[in-house]
Amino acid sequence: MKPIAIFRHAPSEGPGYFATFLDSNRIPWQLFRIDAGDAVPTDASQFGGLVFMGGPMSVNDDLPWIPHSLALIRQAAERGIPVLGHCLGGQLMAKALGGSVERNPVKEIGWGEVAAADNAAAHAWFGDTARFDAFHWHGETFTLPPRAELILSSPYCVNQAFVLDGKHLAMQCHVEMTGEMVRDWYTVGADEVVAASSSPAVQSAEAATTGLERRVAALNAVSEKLYRKWIGGLA
């Protein structure tokens, strides 16, 4: 089996629970540390799938690796190689496939309820899960590329996830979280939380870490469904 390529864009925003899922299913993976200077590969066919994690930058920033990532996503989609995006990764997918990325009406940080759409695509990915608490950390959002189907929304961000061709999944929210990641992000992003505290969708560190183990376990259960559906598209 070809390995899954995972792209990390910030030291604190690794694959988290997704790596645990791959390991438990004996699926090989390779981490590309873009934040540490790793080059974006040029041939998507080396991999069974591509997975893009989050990051504090914007896909609209003038960064040298962004055009290469966009080109790789387009190549994978053209060849039917499954692509999965988390937050920044979902935004990269949207931009690469014909959508755009713009400022969200409010910043979302912390736990917040999301709702699955009532359509066949959402049912295929979420099963009977209609609502759940996802983790959020973003100030921008994506529009839907042509032919993409919206499968998830929140009160503060309509476009929380879309699927394309039944195998490519782009998410604005984070479903890969572990308890350690939540605590780390609130440490690294403490100033951002303070600066955005007037947003109705921003949680304090204290609020976000209350009942953390329970919250993460519930999120992991949803992640399991999504990731299992996604690996079903691997060659």
Residue-level pLDDT at 94: 98
179: domain CATH number is 3.40.50.880
Which residue in 13, 86, 87, 173 is the catalytic one?
Answer: 87
pTM above 0.85, yes or no: yes
More confident residue, 115 or 235: 115
Would you give the DSSP letter of residue 202? B
> Structural domain tally of the chain?
1
167 confidence band (pLDDT: 50, 70, 90): very high
Rounded average pLDDT over 95-123: 98
Rounded average pLDDT over 66-86: 98
Burial of 7-31, coded b for 16+ CB within 10 Å and e otherwise, reads bbbbebbbbbbbbbbbeeeebebeb
Q: Please indicate whether residue 213 is annotated as part of the active site.
A: no
Separation between Cα atoms, residue 158 and residue 83, nearest integer Å: 21
Rounded average pLDDT over 171-195: 98
Which residue segment(s) compose the domain that 145 sits in? Answer: 4-231
Q: Please indicate whether residue 157 is annotated as part of the active site.
A: no
pLDDT of 27 over the 90 cut: yes
92 confidence band (pLDDT: 50, 70, 90): very high
Q: Please indicate whether residue 173 is annotated as part of the active site.
A: no
pLDDT of 235 over the 90 cut: no
Separation between Cα atoms, residue 101 and residue 179, nearest integer Å: 29
| CB-CB contact of 226 with 161 (8 Å) | no
Mean pLDDT of the chain: 98
Nearest-CA neighbor of 3 among 12, 25, 17, 35? 25
The DSSP annotation for 1-59 comes to -PPEEEEESSTT---THHHHHHHHTT--EEEEEGGGTPPPPS-GGGSSEEEE---SS-T
